[in-house]
Amino acid sequence: MKNANAPFQPVTNESSFDLFRLSKSKQTVDVCPNTLRKFFKQGLQSYNRGKAVFVSKAELAAFIRKGAA
């Protein structure tokens, strides 16, 4: 059980919610959905919830920095 008097711990960038829908990728990160599908085949992680596909902004940035083809 949490202590009610404990100081508030802000959410850090590493643990924040940074997922976006594949269908909204052009508006969100200016990357075409077809490009992201190509990245999925090269190893970028995607998250599926029903028919919706989500991608992490942090993982996408790391994938591109690493040298996506």
Each residue's pLDDT tens digit, 13-49 = 555 689 999 999 999 999 999 999 999 999 999 999 9
Give me the pLDDT at residue 10, please.
46
Give me the pLDDT at residue 16, please.
63
CA 49 to chain centre: 14
What average pLDDT score do residues 55-63 get?
A: 95
Does the structure show a pLDDT above 80 at 56?
yes
| pTM of the predicted structure, to 2 decimals | 0.71
Give me the pLDDT at residue 7, please.
55
What are the backbone dihedrals phi and psi of residue 54, each rounded to the nearest 5 degrees, phi first? -120, 155
